[in-house]
């Protein structure tokens, strides 16, 4: 991607979400081009995955990060450098770091990167059809109000609600940059039809509910996603998203607004 292009506009009240389906990309020329963008550490980590599908998820998703950032700043995709905080969260190194924020998430069948301007943000996507426990996990890790609300639903809705809570919780802790060091049972989400998700905190969390906005996405029948933005409730926020195949087009972008 050239560095003399006109960067995409990204207002302070917007978050753009770029979504890719790594398993659908089997063009060797594209995969080789993605590999060429990674740095030595990324290549080494990609090769350490045991299964080919996980190698592809890592390759495509990390190329997506680099190519997406280069849509908003005049930096070549291969030139981006990253640091990590104490909990392993990656951030842009250098002059663009304080302003251009991003968060990557991937699961079987999908990866996404959310990009915002001058605001902490987090994003999560989950394969809601994956096998495993749901309500049982909620009993051990979710806030009491969330467990009660989940169990009040008909059993056939338990899995969907579990992943709504899970993606929202993951998006929040990723936006905070502290990962699972934040106890999942010390903050709770409140979901009401037709309204944006609300959050409440145990006093030990030392956070303010009105400092956050959350948006839920359903990018496929199989996947559930959420975005958290450190932006006061009541201030405008628009989350726009689109599917992409990195280096294969989608210029100009055709975003859908949530």
Q: Is the pLDDT of residue 144 over 90?
A: yes
The mean per-residue pLDDT over the stretch 127-149 comes to 91
Write down the mean pLDDT value for the chain.
93
Question: Would you say how long the chain is, in residues?
Answer: 258
Say yes or no to pLDDT of 15 above 70.
yes
Is residue 253 in a domain?
A: no
Sign for the CA dihedral angle at 22, 26, 29, 32 comes to positive
Tokens of 88: 């392993």
Look at 74-78, 83-87, 227-231 and tell me which has the smallest mean pLDDT: 83-87
The answer to whether residue 20 scores a pLDDT higher than 80 is yes
Reduced to 3 states (helix: H, G, I; strand: E, B; else coil), residue 90 is strand
C-beta separation of 206 from 219 below 8 A: no
Residue 2 reports pLDDT greater than 90: no
On whether residue 257 sits in a domain, the answer given is: no
With a pLDDT cut of 90, the percent of the chain lying above it is: 83
- Alpha-carbon torsion, ordered 164, 170, 172, 174, to 10 deg: -150
Counting the structural domains of the chain, the total is: 1
At residue 89, the pLDDT reads 87
pLDDT of amino acid 88: 81
The pLDDT assigned to 6 comes to 72
Q: Which of 27-36, 129-138, 142-151, 201-210 has the lowest mean pLDDT?
A: 129-138
Report which of 28, 15, 42, 40 is spatially closest to residue 112, judged by C-alpha positions.
Answer: 15
Partners of 213 in beta bridges: 229
Please name the residue that has the structure tokens 């933005």. 229
pLDDT confidence tier of residue 213, bands split at 50, 70 and 90: very high
Model confidence at 5, pLDDT cuts 50, 70, 90, reads low
CA 49 to the chain's CA centroid: 21
Residue 9 belongs to some domain of the structure: no
Q: What is the pLDDT of residue 85?
A: 84
Separation in Å, CA 172 to CA 175, 200, 202, 203, 229: 5, 12, 14, 16, 8
Question: How many Å apart are CA 13 and CA 118, to the nearest integer?
Answer: 10
Q: Report if residue 255 sits inside a domain.
A: no
Domain for residue 8, yes or no? no
- Name which of 44-48, 121-125, 129-133, 139-143 the model is least confident about: 129-133
Mean pLDDT on 137-154? 94
**136 belongs to a structural domain:** yes
At 34, the pLDDT band (50, 70, 90 cuts) reads very high
- Name residue, tokens 């992409």: 244
Q: Are 21 and 243 in contact (CB under 8 A)?
A: yes
Domain, as residue range, for 30: 14-248
Structure tokens belonging to residue 84: 């990590």
Asked whether the predicted pLDDT for residue 13 surpasses 90, the reply is yes
As beta bridge partners, residue 256 has 241
Is residue 7 in a domain?
A: no
CA atoms 19, 254, 120, 46: torsion sign? positive
94 belongs to a structural domain: yes
Cβ count near 80 (within 10 Å): 21
Q: Are 8 and 73 in contact (CB under 8 A)?
A: no
Average confidence (pLDDT) over 133-145 = 90
Q: Is 213:237 a contact under the CB 8 Å cutoff?
A: yes
Closest alpha carbon to 211 in 237, 185, 193: 237
């Amino acid at each position: 991607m050239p560095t003399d292009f006109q960067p995409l506009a990204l207002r302070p009240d917007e978050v753009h979400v770029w979504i890719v389906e790594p398993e659908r990309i089997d063009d060797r020329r594209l995969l080789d081009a993605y590999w060429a963008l990674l740095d030595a550490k990324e290549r080494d980590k990609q090769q350490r995955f045991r299964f080919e599908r996980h190698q592809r998820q890592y390759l495509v998703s990390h190329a997506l990060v680099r190519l997406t950032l280069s849509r908003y700043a005049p930096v070549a995709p291969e030139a981006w450098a990253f640091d990590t905080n104490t909990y392993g969260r990656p951030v842009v190194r250098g002059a663009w770091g304080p302003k251009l924020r991003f968060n990557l998430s991937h699961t079987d069948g999908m990866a996404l990167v959310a990009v915002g301007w001058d605001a902490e943000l987090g994003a999560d996507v989950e394969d809601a059809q994956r096998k495993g426990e749901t309500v049982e996990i909620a009993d051990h890790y979710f806030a009491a109000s969330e467990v009660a609300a989940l169990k009040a639903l008909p059993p056939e809705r338990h899995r969907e609600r579990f992943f709504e809570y899970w993606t929202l919780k993951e998006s929040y802790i990723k936006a905070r940059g502290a990962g699972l060091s934040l106890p999942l049972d010390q903050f709770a989400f409140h979901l009401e039809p037709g309204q944006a998700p609300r959050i409440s905190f145990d006093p030990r969390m030392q956070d303010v509910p009105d400092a956050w906005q959350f948006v839920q996405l359903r990018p496929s029948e199989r996947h559930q996603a959420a975005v958290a933005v450190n932006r006061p409730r009541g201030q405008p926020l628009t989350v726009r998203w689109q599917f992409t195949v990195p280096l294969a087009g989608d210029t100009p972008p055709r975003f859908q607004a949530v």
